């Protein structure tokens, strides 16, 4: 029976692909690293605990080495028949994920140890999620993107519920999980439709077929498939109206995990959108531009308006993150006329957003070591007893609000430039709506600054608290990055000069 079946197969059909090991070295380092972490935990049990954060950091920084060597090499490497591409943009994003994860590990070190959580598993899950993110940066294939997405999401579901004793954390994990799998289902359905009309899982092949189909037979299915896929990722990047999970999850999850979700996980969602939209859906700008315009306007406006009312700083950052996602979604709406600038503005925004948002969370972790609460009112009088921390937090808040000379201004400026450079009515409208939203956002960021600087300490408790050096390290890296990117944005625009991207975009 089997023999007859085998005979049916054409001979020598399966070719083992030649693998460029250098190109996938970062992923290999992370993969091996995460296995080592798991093994170490199983063999040494509790004795391994104190070394876990250090080991995880080493793994993440170790993976930076091949990323750097690949960047020096500079050539674009195409693997697995075009479904995996390592180019300069993907390297920038991989470096971003590795550094972000490293900062998250720094932030977690004392938090997880003090809380007596499951340390070893915690770090191996973070590293596993990073693997998914790295794969996402290079994936040019629907399946690859989906696998990467699940790989980075599933550890995050567990991490969100890490504080098992806390109902809120359980709620956070469960909500995130249910919404996440729902989004995955929608996404997968969209992808299957896309496969049906595009006749391939490879993005470039699908794009060709989309152009061929045009407005002809199958066009409605194309529209449906695109909208489903975009919605699937809209959940991931918490765009309105698919944002409802974010505030509860952010509030309930352990704060370092929240930082991880708000920065790394959201960035991964954007990277997936970049891959799919710029390399595939861009063939039909008439469909996706209005969709993204609506998502962007809703996200920035609704996110901002709800953020105004928040009394908890983490929830405030969650809603502000929704609004910031709106700013990042806006350039997608001018993809037809200003493709390159749209792409570079999103990537630059992602990098700067990571620096300032991670920093803000690091400060919050430091402050809550004292206040034991993330209520904004509990930050009162911080300037009087921890002035250094207050100044650092103010820098992050000002940067989030987009005030020079801190990074955020250039991120916003880049988006404005992309929108106006597109020279479409939609682009101008988005630019103006964004300008108004910037002012609205400034209010709630400054509200936090106001509490820290102008108000009295609640209960008159003004004893400063010691901040562990790992946390200081996390704040140091992010504050330097935030200031540097703001004063010399050229640093960022030079590394993300995207010339290979321009080539890939067919220029």
Contact window for another protein (CB under 8 A) among 61-69, 285-293, 355-363, 413-421: 413-421
What minimum distance in Å lies between the beta carbon of 148 and another protein?
Answer: 29
Site membership for another protein, residue 404 (CB under 8 A): yes
Looking at 421, 458, 473, 476, which residue binds another protein (CB under 8 A)?
A: 421
Distances (CA, A) of 191 to 225, 227, 387: 7, 10, 51
Looking at 184, 275, 344, 470, which residue binds another protein (CB under 8 A)?
A: 344
Nearest to 349 by CA among 313, 321, 307: 321
Q: Which is nearer to another protein, 182 or 413 (CB)?
A: 413
Tell me the C-alpha distance between 57 and 100, whole Å.
11
Looking at 227, 413, 429, 458, which residue binds another protein (CB under 8 A)?
A: 413
Q: Tokens representing 73?
A: 């090499």
Inter-residue long-range contacts of 32-40, CB under 8 Å, 24+ positions, other chains counted: 33/58, 33/59, 33/60, 33/62, 33/63, 33/127, 34/59, 34/124, 34/127, 34/128, 34/131, 37/120, 37/123, 37/124, 37/127, 38/120, 38/124, 40/120
Looking at 62, 115, 405, 476, which residue binds another protein (CB under 8 A)?
A: 405
Q: Which is nearer to another protein, 178 or 439 (CB)?
A: 439
Q: Which is nearer to another protein, 160 or 401 (CB)?
A: 401
Q: Which is nearer to another protein, 284 or 412 (CB)?
A: 412
What minimum distance in Å lies between the beta carbon of 446 and another protein?
Answer: 6
Nearest to 257 by CA among 126, 367, 359, 151: 126
Tell me the C-alpha distance between 210 and 205, whole Å.
9
Site membership for another protein, residue 4 (CB under 8 A): no
Identify residues 345-384 at the interface with another protein (CB under 8 A): 383
Distances (CA, A) of 352 to 33, 117, 222, 324, 343: 28, 31, 34, 11, 15
Q: With CB under 8 A as the rule, give the number of residues binding another protein.
A: 36
Contact window for another protein (CB under 8 A) among 153-161, 190-198, 366-374, 431-439: 431-439
Say which residues have a Cβ less than 8 Å from residue 312's Cβ, sequence separation at least 6. Answer: 251, 374, 375, 376
Task: Fill in the per-residue mask, 97 to 136: x = in contact with another protein (CB under 8 A), - = not in contact.
Answer: ----------------------------------------
For tokens 């920035």, the residue is: 300
Q: Under a CB-based contact definition with an 8 Å cutoff, are residues 55 and 36 in contact?
A: yes
Site membership for another protein, residue 438 (CB under 8 A): yes
Q: Under a CB-based contact definition with an 8 Å cutoff, are residues 171 and 248 in contact?
A: yes
Site membership for another protein, residue 493 (CB under 8 A): yes
Looking at 442, 483, 484, 502, which residue binds another protein (CB under 8 A)?
A: 442
* Site residues (vs another protein, CB under 8 A): 344, 383, 387, 394, 398, 401, 403-405, 409-410, 413, 416-417, 420-421, 423, 431-432, 435-436, 438-439, 442-443, 446-447, 450, 453-454, 488-490, 493-494, 497
């Amino acid at each position: 029976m089997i023999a007859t079946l085998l005979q049916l197969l054409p001979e020598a059909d399966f070719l083992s692909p030649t693998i460029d090991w250098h190109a996938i070295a970062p992923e290999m380092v992370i993969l091996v690293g995460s296995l080592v972490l798991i093994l170490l935990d199983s063999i040494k049990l509790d004795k391994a605990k104190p070394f876990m954060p250090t080991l995880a950091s080493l793994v993440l920084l170790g993976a930076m080495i091949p990323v750097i060597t690949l960047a020096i090499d500079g050539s674009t490497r195409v693997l697995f028949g075009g479904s995996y591409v390592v180019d300069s943009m993907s390297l920038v994003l991989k470096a971003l994920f590795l550094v972000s994860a490293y900062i998250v590990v720094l932030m977690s070190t004392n938090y997880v140890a003090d809380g007596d959580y499951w340390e070893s598993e915690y770090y191996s899950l973070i590293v596993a999620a990073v693997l998914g993110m790295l794969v996402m940066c290079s994936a040019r294939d629907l399946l690859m993107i989906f696998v990467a997405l699940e790989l980075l999401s599933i550890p995050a579901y567990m991490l969100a519920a890490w504080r098992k004793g806390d109902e809120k954390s359980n709620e956070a994990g469960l909500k995130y999980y249910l919404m996440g799998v729902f989004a995955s289902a929608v996404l997968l359905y969209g992808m299957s439709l896309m496969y049906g009309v595009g006749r391939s899982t490879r993005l470039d092949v699908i794009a060709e077929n989309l152009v061929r189909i045009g407005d002809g037979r199958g066009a409605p299915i194309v529209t449906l498939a695109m909208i489903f896929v975009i919605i699937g990722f809209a959940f991931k990047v918490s765009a309105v109206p698919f944002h409802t999970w974010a505030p509860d999850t952010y509030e309930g999850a352990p704060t370092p995990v929240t930082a991880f979700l708000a920065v790394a996980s959201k960035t991964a969602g954007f990277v997936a959108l970049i891959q799919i939209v710029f390399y595939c859906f861009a063939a039909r700008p008439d469909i996706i531009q209005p969709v993204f315009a609506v998502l962007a306007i809703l996200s920035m406006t609704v996110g901002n308006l709800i953020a105004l009312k928040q009394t908890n700083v983490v929830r405030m950052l969650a809603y502000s993150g929704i609004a910031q996602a709106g700013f990042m979604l806006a350039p997608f709406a001018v993809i037809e006329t200003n493709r390159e600038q749209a792409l570079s503005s999103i990537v630059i925004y992602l990098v700067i957003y990571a620096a300032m948002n991670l920093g803000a969370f690091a400060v919050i972790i430091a402050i809550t070591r004292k206040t034991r609460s993330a209520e904004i009112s509990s930050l009162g009088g911080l300037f009087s007893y921890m002035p250094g921390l207050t100044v650092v937090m103010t820098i992050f808040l000002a940067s989030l609000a987009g005030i020079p000379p801190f990074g955020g201004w250039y991120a916003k400026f880049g988006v404005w430039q992309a929108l106006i450079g597109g020279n479409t009515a939609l682009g101008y409208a988005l630019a103006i709506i964004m300008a108004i939203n910037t002012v609205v956002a400034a209010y709630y960021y400054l509200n936090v600054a106001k509490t820290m600087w102008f108000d009295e300490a609640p209960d008159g408790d003004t004893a400063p608290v010691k901040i562990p050096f790992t946390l200081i390290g996390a704040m140091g890296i992010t504050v330097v990055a935030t200031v540097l990117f703001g004063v010399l944005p050229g640093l960022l625009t030079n590394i993300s000069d995207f010339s290979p991207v321009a080539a890939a975009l067919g220029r």
